[in-house]
Structure 1
Amino acid sequence: MTNADLPHTPECFSLWREVQDTRTRTRLGGFYYLLAWLLCWLFSAAPMAHLTLGLAGGALFTLLLAARLLHRPPEPDSEAELQRWLDRHWGIILLSSFCWGMTHAWVLLADGFEPARLIATLATVGFGTAMAFNFAMRRRRAVLAILLLYVPGLAALALSEGGSRAELVTLVFYLSYLLLALNRSHREYANMIALELQLLEQRQRMDTLSRTDGLTLLGNRYQFNNLFPAMCASAQRHGSELSLLLMDIDFFKRINDEHGHSTGDACLRAFGERMREFFRRDSDALLRLGGEEFGVLMPDTGMEQARQLAEQFREDLANRGFLLGDQHLPITASLGLGCFAEGDQGSAETFFKRVDDALYRAKAKGRDRLELAQG
């Protein structure tokens, strides 16, 4: 998954990251529950005498393993779906913990399973440790899972006449350690998510800066070079319309020479603001292509609609100019306009050249005019 595919809101990213971590860490857990049960059964005093029980337990933990593996995460852009997935997956985890906790207690109490009691106890310790260190993202649920793993066995040891008090006390002390370790792991996980969010925000800011012209805050040439071919391909694939408007401020060098570069910069900023007034749709891409050259990509826009917008912009620019401080600056622009056509044969370069040629014809014919692309 690329950075562009990652969820961009902090809440959605945190949930998505938790889903990925939960799924990665839970895959092997179901297998080890199954393996622990098979070891307890096979190392019991008489495995074949408990064949039905052994197969039933194996089937139960196999189903829980399959539930973990088959429960696939949703798309990363839906916060509600991510939360729903987590709730359901934690349901599987808690059910597995409950089943093992009851299994541990039964092994401790059942006749004929004395040789497997140590296996069941060690497995319980291992599952509890894994829960404390690997599933600390949800502290309360992890605490509940650990208790479901431990409490049945502790109760069995406490109620069993032949139970080992030393074993009971040791497990209680280790349970308290796991709960403390869980709190620490939860804080570490929260700090890790916060750090990842900071890094994601920094990458997004850097990506925005790399695609934005610092003076006008329009898209820059780098963004155009990435966006334009993709929009042309989309227009060809879906048979939709795409218009490209190229604009060049007339005699911009004269503005810099007569009024200074600070006025020239102010003129470029004002030109960008004027573009925002006329090309206001969210789908329109407003760009500064370099120097005094600007562009507008208008998806789902035919030639006539784009021509009307471009002509209105040109006329307004010529009539109003710019008011920079207390100075009125008359200004005009030359424009070239084209619509993606079959003659372009899917080539963004061919389309751009047609519109660029139209822009140069507008300059050659006296400037302050709009020329339509040929072909």
Structure 2
Amino acid sequence: MTSISAATGPRLRLWREASDTHIRSRFGGYYYLLAWAMLWLTSRNPGQNLWLWSGGVLLLLGFFILRSSERPTEQLPAEQLQRWLDQRWVLILLQSLAWGLMLAGIQLHPGVIVSHLVVMLCVVVFGTALAFTYPMRMPSCALAILLTYLPSTAVKIHLGIGDIGESVALVIYLSYLGLFLYRWHREYHISLDRELRLLRQGEQLDRLSRTDALTGLSNRYQFNALLPNWLASARRQNSMLALVLLDIDFFKKINDQFGHRAGDLYLQAFAERMRQLFRRDSDILLRLGGEEFAVLMPDTSLEQAMLLAERFRAELTEHPLNIPGQNPAQYPPLTCSLGVGTFQPLCDDSAEAFYTRVDNALYRAKAGGRNRLELA
């Protein structure tokens, strides 16, 4: 799922606008060509002025090819999406101007006799289509409507075609179209805001489902999802993958003697100590449940993992956990047992097999006296 952080939110808005602009305009070129053909075939002498009609077809065909030549992709950075949108709007405005001038031109041409009703229908229909299709940018869309609407309307008024009531109706409809453009613009952005809000909520829920609420580390669900993927990647790339399992020694006594609140404080302090010691960017720290923790270490050899794990164990022994707001002498010092192993393709045929092998090493450390490390 696409991240909706503060940095990527504006970029996602650009992507939605670019995608909607492309999708909504895919078939527009067909309708311009169809309307021009209808004007041509319904004119009084379709066989005359072929250069004018065919020239219009070629011009509209050129716009159609330009509109279909490039489509945005979700991977484009914000600058390229903005550039694509700006170029697409220049194309929309140029086509609107060309269409308006073409409709005005056939009314002014002395050798072309077309139905005034059909011309006005083309003006109204394409103006409405622009308002409905491109409400995401209201000023640009309003300009495109005026470029479509005004040339032939001005010619109509100049030549005195139709009665005054028809001209008034066209002006009133243009005002009505402006009001609807404003409404569709608001509805588009309200819908977009709602979609982004839902995506953010979904992202937050997904993050919460993969995070241990007490310690802030990744949880067992995340571990079960990551381990098979990392194993597959290590097998495919012939790379190393180490796993460290940690279990706090005699943790049940803490809960029994001092209560679960003290146990929670210990777990939080233990997780913070893990962050201090396993602080490489590639290390993935997890709480698997209860007092059991894990560290996934991609591109790490057994010797490297063992050194880091042993350093953590020794630091925990030499420098006991500091429980915030509590007297250090009130609680006994904690130690932990560790199992360390690396992925072995010949014996680990699954994520479960790899985990079981390292888990067995952890149990050997506990059975051997605790506060020690065993290699798998």
Q: State the TM-score bracket (shorter-chain normalisation).
A: over 0.9
C-alpha distance in 2 between matches for 1:323 and 1:6? 36
Count of matched residue pairs: 370
CA deviations 1:341-373 (Å, max 9, x no partner) are 332466322222221121112112111111121
| Contact 1:359 1:371 (C-alpha < 8 Å) held by counterparts | yes
Paired residue for 2:135?
136
| Contact 1:243 1:303 (C-alpha < 8 Å) held by counterparts | yes
Q: Which amino acid counterpart does residue 288 of structure 2 have in structure 1? A: L
Secondary structure in 1 matching 2:243: strand
Secondary structure in 1 matching 2:242: strand
Deviates more, 1:139-148 or 1:64-73: 64-73
CA deviations 1:108-150 (Å, max 9, x no partner) are 2223543343223212211111222231111111111111111
Paired residue for 1:282?
281
Deviation at 1:205, TM superposition (A): 1.1
From the superposition, tell whether residues 293 and 152 of structure 1 become closer, same or farther in structure 2 (CA, over 3 Å).
same
| Contact 1:107 1:117 (C-alpha < 8 Å) held by counterparts | no
Paired residue for 1:87?
86
Secondary structure in 1 matching 2:233: helix
1:110 correspondence with 2:109: yes
C-alpha distance in 2 between matches for 1:283 and 1:41? 67
Deviation at 1:71, TM superposition (A): 1.8
From the superposition, tell whether residues 351 and 323 of structure 1 become closer, same or farther in structure 2 (CA, over 3 Å).
same
C-alpha distance in 2 between matches for 1:220 and 1:358? 21
TM-score by length of 1: 0.93
Paired residue for 1:237?
236
TM-score by length of 2: 0.92
Q: State the 4+ residue runs in structure 1 displaced beyond 6 angstroms.
A: none
C-alpha distance in 2 between matches for 1:77 and 1:219? 30
Paired residue for 1:195?
194
Paired residue for 2:343?
340
Deviates more, 1:274-283 or 1:166-175: 166-175
1:353 correspondence with 2:352: no
Give the share of equivalent positions with the same residue, in percent.
51
| Contact 2:45 2:113 (C-alpha < 8 Å) held by counterparts | no
Q: Which amino acid counterpart does residue 375 of structure 2 have in structure 1? A: L
Q: Which amino acid counterpart does residue 311 of structure 1 have in structure 2? A: E
What RMSD over aligned residues (CA atoms) do the two structures have, in Å?
Answer: 1.9
CA deviations 1:50-80 (Å, max 9, x no partner) are 3333222222222222222332112346222
Deviates more, 1:32-41 or 1:190-199: 190-199
C-alpha distance in 2 between matches for 1:302 and 1:91? 57
Paired residue for 1:306?
305
CA deviations 1:194-220 (Å, max 9, x no partner) are 212211111111111111111111111
1:327 correspondence with 2:308: no
Secondary structure in 1 matching 2:212: coil
CA deviations 1:251-270 (Å, max 9, x no partner) are 11111112111111111111
| Contact 1:321 1:331 (C-alpha < 8 Å) held by counterparts | yes
C-alpha distance in 2 between matches for 1:358 and 1:35? 75
Paired residue for 1:5?
2
C-alpha distance in 2 between matches for 1:180 and 1:296? 60
C-alpha distance in 2 between matches for 1:100 and 1:6? 41
Deviates more, 1:154-163 or 1:355-364: 154-163
| Contact 1:128 1:149 (C-alpha < 8 Å) held by counterparts | yes
CA deviations 1:305-345 (Å, max 9, x no partner) are 22211111111111122222113430111111112233246
Q: Which amino acid counterpart does residue 327 of structure 1 have in structure 2? A: P
